[in-house]
């Protein structure tokens, strides 16, 4: 039976935060269809001005927006504030990217007229958002899609409906027409129906590989729909020789445990050469033991909040035990101080001798450590995954990084930087189970508009010079 209501609770308290009705898909499609022609025919400068107004609306409401994100996701308030800043920053980046990636071109010829290149919107785009960054990540699809002239129906995660509603309200407060950007609340059945609807021209998805693959299969026989998949990763951070042990430990902690490990770019595997193992692993453990895990508004602010819900916390706790049962050796046990709330401590497990390490994305604060003999083995281990989103190298020299960059199967390859925290001013995406070669962020303009070539003359002028009988 389909849901009729969506209820959101605060992970850190268990209290109900938001309750609302499941949206009407057919009504949303009709409104979008009525708005699409007028919106798409507006000058692009006018659309850009409206999304700038949206940024100003978010700016005005930045603190209540951040508080809502913190309450609904369980992430610390400081991190929720950075998410709101990213929502604002996305606008100017998207404007620059649209001009750069979809520029107009004309080539004049006296006899052949004008050859032109311009871009058109696809029409009605479905945006399916995740719960870990419920404002920033869908906004990274929505803003470029609106600038390009598309109408957008946004289905937020059923775990973060309040943030989705707030985000869309900011667009409406900025006078973006209500039919142009809509929030459609619902669960998996609504998402499935939205993806399959014949009037949807494109699907922009951020979420798990399992859900993304299901969407890809569903649309395999419908090549008319543009599909951009932004999925997860089993991301490696490789540790070579370096004297900067403390800095390396901080970088690993940031990679593995920011947002309680609920980032698609989070480091899931720490691959360490043998010569550094006894130095870096104790340093990482010592620092991880100092991390404060707490509710979003605690003082002092915690480094980590909750994972999204109790079901997720249960799954991660069971996964840690399963890794041990396969031969993993605990370095730092996963702890859950309150069985009724989804707070988890950061956890580390030595997976070097584990039988058949599972190539899955464990979306939480769980880091697997793998000891290798040398750099070549480290690269092989880093690439030992079907995913390919993010990879990072710590230590080594320029030649080592050049080799690592060349050999890594990932869309983001960093050196002495965390695996996460990618810039919106660069393309963001991966290969394998991490994406379908349609990177987001700065390259989102590529999938929000399509190029149209034309040859043009103000008056018809033509002649046949061969193959005609005499008059």
Active site residues: 230, 264
Closest-CA residue to 147 (of 364, 442, 422, 466): 442
CA atoms within 13 A on the CB side of 202: 27
* Cβ-contact 376, 396 below 8 angstroms: no
* Cβ-contact 448, 201 below 8 angstroms: no
Question: Which residues have CB under 8 Å from 307's CB, separation 6+?
Answer: 11, 74, 260, 261, 262, 313, 316, 342, 344, 363, 364, 365
* Cβ-contact 67, 77 below 8 angstroms: yes
From the DSSP assignment, how many helices (H) and strands (E) are in the chain?
14, 21
In sequence order, the β-bridge partners of residue 151 are 124
Count of residues making up the chain: 471
Tell me: cis bond preceding 257? Omega within 30 of 0 counts: no
327 sits in the region (left: phi over 0; alpha: psi -120 to 50; else beta) called left
The residue with tokens 């649209």 is 98
Provide the strand spans (E) within 224-355.
Answer: 226-230, 235-239, 267-273, 329-332, 347-350
In sequence order, the β-bridge partners of residue 204 are 127, 228
């Amino acid at each position: 039976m389909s849901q009729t209501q969506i209820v959101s609770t605060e992970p850190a308290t268990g209290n109900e935060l938001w309750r609302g009705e499941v949206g009407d898909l057919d009504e949303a499609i009709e409104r979008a269809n009525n708005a699409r022609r007028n919106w798409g025919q507006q000058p692009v400068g006018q659309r850009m001005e409206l999304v700038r107004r949206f940024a100003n609306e978010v700016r005005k409401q930045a603190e209540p927006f951040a508080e809502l994100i913190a309450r609904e996701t369980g992430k610390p308030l400081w991190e929720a504030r950075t998410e709101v800043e990213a929502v604002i920053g996305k606008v100017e980046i998207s404007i620059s990217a649209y001009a750069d990636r979809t520029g107009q071109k004309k080539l004049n010829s006296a006899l052949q007229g004008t050859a032109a290149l311009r871009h058109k919107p696809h029409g009605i785009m479905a945006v399916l958002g995740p719960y870990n960054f419920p404002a920033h990540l869908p906004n990274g699809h929505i803003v470029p899609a609106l600038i390009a002239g598309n109408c957008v129906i946004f289905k937020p995660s059923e775990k973060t409906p309040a943030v989705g509603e707030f985000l869309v309200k900011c667009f409406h407060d900025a006078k973006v027409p209500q039919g142009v950007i809509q929030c459609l609340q619902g669960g998996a059945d609504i998402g499935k129906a939205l993806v399959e609807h014949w009037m949807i021209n494109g699907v922009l998805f951020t979420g798990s590989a399992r859900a993304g693959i299901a969407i890809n299969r569903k649309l395999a026989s419908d090549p008319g729909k543009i599909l951009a998949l932004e999925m997860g990763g089993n991301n490696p951070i490789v540790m070579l020789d370096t004297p900067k042990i403390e800095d390396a430990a901080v970088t690993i902690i940031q990679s593995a445990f920011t947002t309680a490990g609920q980032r698609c770019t989070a480091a899931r595997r720490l691959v360490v050469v043998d010569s550094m193992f006894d130095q870096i692993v104790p340093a990482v453990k010592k620092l991880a033991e100092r991390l404060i895990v707490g509710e979003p508004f605690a003082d002092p602010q915690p480094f980590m909040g909750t994972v999204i819900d109790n079901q997720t916390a249960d799954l991660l706790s069971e996964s840690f035990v399963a890794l041990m049962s396969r031969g993993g050796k605990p370095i730092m046990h996963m702890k859950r101080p309150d069985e009724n709330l989804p707070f988890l401590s950061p956890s580390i497990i030595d997976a070097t001798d584990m039988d058949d390490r599972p190539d899955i994305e464990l979306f939480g604060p769980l880091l697997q450590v793998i000891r290798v003999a040398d750099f070549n083995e480290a690269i092989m281990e880093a690439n030992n995954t079907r995913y390919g989103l993010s990879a990072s190298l710590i230590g080594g020299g320029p030649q080592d990084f050049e080799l690592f960059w060349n050999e890594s199967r990932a869309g983001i390859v960093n050196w002495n930087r965390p695996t996460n925290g990618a810039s919106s001013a660069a393309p963001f995406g991966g290969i394998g189970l991490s994406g379908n070669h349609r990177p987001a962020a700065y390259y989102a303009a590529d999938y929000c508009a399509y190029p149209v070539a034309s040859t043009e003359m103000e008056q018809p002028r033509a002649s046949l010079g061969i193959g005609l009988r005499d008059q």
